[in-house]
Structure 1
Amino acid sequence: MIERKIKKEILQLLEEFPAVGLLGPRQVGKTTLSEILAEELKPTPVYLDLETPSNLARIEEPESYFDLQTGKLIILDEIQRVPELFAILRGVIDRKRKKGHRTGQFLILGSASLELLKQSSETLAGRIAYKELTGLMIDEVGNEKTGELWLRGGFPDSFMANSDEASLRWRQNFISTYLERDVPQFGGRVPANSLRLLWTMLAHNQGTQLNVAQLGANLGVTAPTAKRYIELLEDLLLVRVIRPWAGNIAKRLVKSPKIYIRDSGLTHALLNIATLDDLMGHPIVGASWEGFVIENLISNLPIGATYWFYRTAAGAEIDLVIEKGSKNRIAIEIKRSIAPKVSKGFYIGCEDIEATHKYVVYPGDERFSLGDNVTAISLPEIMNVISQKNEINKTAR
């Protein structure tokens, strides 16, 4: 069993809020994490899987049932199946608050969806805190497993499979199941074949700027329809759209966002890449590594930090810009080479945005200077740097 770093945060939030929402794609480990929490908490929480008829029968009269469980944490799994519960939860939470049970009432698990967030934000405002459970990250599996995690991705069953072949089979079945079973639940009438084709196109174009019109033309659908498909995948936490930095500088900046398939293992499964040797010889290797690094970095951002990419029409470019306040700005270039070199466009971009820190993330272990205050650094070390709330301020002085 791999210890999830988010567990401590969930326990802390349960001590501060009446309800905590844990969101993430299917099979990422939400249920397993809730079971581990249930073993540690006293009194023992009540667990309800809202996809099972027997558990649904227990909440035919939800208010009465929840009132009977006063003093216990109630875990509601796959709550998007019963969205009408949100309106009921508000009244239950407020009644329990009046009786002195102000925190730790509900842990809500759900595969993210716009509808889920809309329902809860309208009815549970001020009563719920959200956390996203990502796939496994480097700081959870260990630095020595970097290659394996990159190839297989962060879904626990894929990462811990007995072989690369078994892992690939799991991911390919996951993709098929998502398209045939889960996407229709969230997205209505979305043709599975069209969405698979879009997903595969995005894998081939990992880390490129989003061209909705071109994607729509390739799919044989309108641009608004293609945009809706992409938003659905983004909402299900399967793709990440990174917006361009748009500070007040006198340069022509690009306006189109960049798009990544969030899990590197799914990227490789869509492209039928089975082994690390296959990956190293594939044209996607650089973009795949970039997406893998970005997901690990974003997972470690402290509260309040924001992320962007930077690109001008003239070619100045920074892969990832992390901002913590208006005066602390980290510029990050991502290279797959063991002997990284920095392009002129990166230096220009750093001057444009007035970067306070400049790093090149590469697959080696040593930390060394590349000149002009640019530091080559490993992925685990830069994750440690950006996760420390005061590190940016401290090193900027």
Structure 2
Amino acid sequence: MIKRILEETVKTALTRNASVALMGPRQVGKTTLALDLTETLPSVYLDLESRLDLIRIDDVRIFHLANEGKLIVLDEVQRIPEIFSEIRGIIDQERRKGNRYGQFLFLGSASMDLLQRSGESLAGRISYLELFPINVLEYAEDDQEKLNMLWVRGGFPESLLAESDQASFEWRLNFIKTYLERDIPMLGPRIPAAALERFWTMLTHNQGSVFNASHLARNLDVSSVTIARYLDLMTDLLLVRRLKPWTFNTGKRLIRSPKVYVRDSGITHALLNIENHNNLLGHPVVGMSWEGFVIENIMSILHTRAQAYYYGSPGGAEIDLVLEFGNGENWAIEIKKSFYPKLSKGFHVACEDLKPERKFVIYSGNDTFFLGEDIMAISISAFMKLVSKKS
């Protein structure tokens, strides 16, 4: 079993908050992480997709009283968002007794923003964390073979640890089918599965592109409003990322639409019918797949350290990823699927506009070296370690 970096963060959050919400897509490992915690903490676990567990929690006050002093773990909590108003009263009652921390752990498969809207009554009583698929530091470090496997199969545990590429590929196809035919309808939106699958696949063909609703709408024969609704849904389910554009204080005309990525590289490859590393290397999406993979790995260790953007101008000045840290410091990151990275003129022009404190090229190799005086070529694992140490 792979030790998840976020486990210690969840433990710490429970010592500082009455409740913690751990979000992430289905099958990403939330339940496994939570059950690991329950082995060291007095606790009780309920799966709210189980009819019996739903009955048990029907009166949450009585259930809490029967399990006083235990951490109550509620899995798939987005199914009953009305429970948060009741839990607020329980938390406030426990506060008056002097019990302020570690009472509830919520697990959910929708976005933190979606749960926050449902759980507004817990303001000041809850901390939100996101569990990403398994990342490079958790699995691959500087092992090139493992890195390639993680990239091809993605970070969902059952896909990554499957006995073969074929078994991994079949798991991901079933994951996609289950989301489209069961999980999304269960959350309420009435969207034809075939239409949503075409949209999801279209995003993979346009991985890392600036979002153009009109272009997608024409290709799918729906309205731009419908496309925007599809994107909102896939973003809320933590399956797609909208990377915001940098639009601050440069005095330049900049692109203001987000870039869109299918978040897990393995899901990207399954939607494109790419089964193994050799198939991927010969596919037109290889460069943008690597870019999305790197960005998602970096996002998995950012937490509150930095905000992430891309920088682009109509004239071609572009930076793949800009990290803005809390002290106002900016890092510019270019991402290249090459052992011998070369930078475009657009990156240099963009850096002249932005004036970042540090410049990096994340490439496929393991060595660290300088390209010119101030641009560091670095591996994804070394860069993630560098960010992790940044306060």
Fold-level similarity (TM above 0.5): yes
Q: Quick one: structure 1 residues 55 and 73, their matched pair in 2 at CA, closer, same or farther if it must change by over 3 Å? A: same
Match in the other structure for 1:395:
none
Match in the other structure for 2:100:
102
Q: Is the 8 A contact 1:19 1:127 kept in 2?
A: yes
Q: 1:72 aligned to 2:70?
A: yes
Deviation at 1:351, TM superposition (A): 1.2
**Aligned-pair RMSD on alpha carbons?**
1.1
Match in the other structure for 1:164:
165
Aligned equivalents of 1:117 and 1:287: distance in 2? Answer: 32
3-state SS in 1 of match to 2:242: strand
Report the residue type matching 1:118 in the other structure: R
Q: Is the 8 A contact 1:302 1:388 kept in 2?
A: no
Q: What TM-score do the two structures reach when normalised by structure 2?
A: 0.97
Unaligned runs of 5+ in 1: 391-397
Q: Is the 8 A contact 1:247 1:353 kept in 2?
A: no
Q: Is the 8 A contact 1:302 1:386 kept in 2?
A: no
Q: Is the 8 A contact 2:244 2:310 kept in 1?
A: yes
Aligned equivalents of 2:237 and 2:157: distance in 1? Answer: 18
Q: What TM-score do the two structures reach when normalised by structure 1?
A: 0.95
Deviation at 1:344, TM superposition (A): 1.1
Deviation at 1:68, TM superposition (A): 2.1
Report the residue type matching 1:313 in the other structure: P
Task: List aligned pairs for 1:303-314, cutoff 5 A.
Answer: 303-314=304-315
Match in the other structure for 1:117:
116
Deviation at 1:187, TM superposition (A): 4.5
Aligned equivalents of 1:337 and 1:174: distance in 2? Answer: 31
Aligned equivalents of 2:46 and 2:168: distance in 1? Answer: 30
Deviations 1:265-290 (A, max 9, x none): 00000000001000000000000000
Q: Quick one: structure 1 residues 296 and 12, their matched pair in 2 at CA, closer, same or farther if it must change by over 3 Å? A: same
Deviation at 1:302, TM superposition (A): 5.0
User: Of 126, 129, 144, which aligns to 2:127?
Assistant: 129
Match in the other structure for 2:210:
209
Match in the other structure for 2:23:
23
Match in the other structure for 1:260:
261
Q: Judge which range, 345-354 or 214-223, deviates more.
A: 214-223
Q: Is the 8 A contact 1:6 1:133 kept in 2?
A: yes
3-state SS in 1 of match to 2:245: coil
Q: Is the 8 A contact 2:321 2:332 kept in 1?
A: yes
3-state SS in 2 of match to 1:40: coil
Aligned equivalents of 1:302 and 1:22: distance in 2? Answer: 13
Match in the other structure for 1:323:
324
In percent, how many aligned pairs have the same letter? Answer: 52
Q: Quick one: structure 1 residues 231 and 21, their matched pair in 2 at CA, closer, same or farther if it must change by over 3 Å? A: same
Aligned equivalents of 1:325 and 1:52: distance in 2? Answer: 42
Deviations 1:303-344 (A, max 9, x none): 241110001111111000001136411000000111001111
Match in the other structure for 1:394:
none
Match in the other structure for 2:350:
349
Report the residue type matching 1:275 in the other structure: N
Deviation at 1:142, TM superposition (A): 2.4
3-state SS in 1 of match to 2:247: coil
Aligned equivalents of 1:112 and 1:191: distance in 2? Answer: 19
Match in the other structure for 1:33:
33
Deviation at 1:80, TM superposition (A): 1.3
Deviations 1:62-111 (A, max 9, x none): 21111222211000011111121111110011111111211000000011
Deviation at 1:115, TM superposition (A): 4.4
Q: Quick one: structure 1 residues 318 and 97, their matched pair in 2 at CA, closer, same or farther if it must change by over 3 Å? A: same
Report the residue type matching 2:103 in the other structure: Q
Number of equivalences: 387
Q: Is the 8 A contact 2:18 2:102 kept in 1?
A: yes
Report the residue type matching 2:247 in the other structure: A
Q: Judge which range, 199-208 or 295-304, deviates more.
A: 295-304
3-state SS in 2 of match to 1:300: helix
Q: Quick one: structure 1 residues 348 and 383, their matched pair in 2 at CA, closer, same or farther if it must change by over 3 Å? A: same
Q: Is the 8 A contact 2:23 2:128 kept in 1?
A: yes
Report the residue type matching 1:235 in the other structure: D
Match in the other structure for 2:227:
226
Aligned equivalents of 2:167 and 2:346: distance in 1? Answer: 42
Match in the other structure for 1:84:
82
3-state SS in 1 of match to 2:210: coil
Deviations 1:41-71 (A, max 9, x none): 1x2x011111111111212222111122221
Q: Judge which range, 162-171 or 322-331, deviates more.
A: 322-331
Unaligned runs of 5+ in 2: none
Q: Is the 8 A contact 2:114 2:236 kept in 1?
A: no
Aligned equivalents of 2:169 and 2:263: distance in 1? Answer: 16
Aligned equivalents of 2:82 and 2:197: distance in 1? Answer: 31
Aligned equivalents of 2:38 and 2:328: distance in 1? Answer: 42
Q: Is the 8 A contact 2:254 2:312 kept in 1?
A: yes
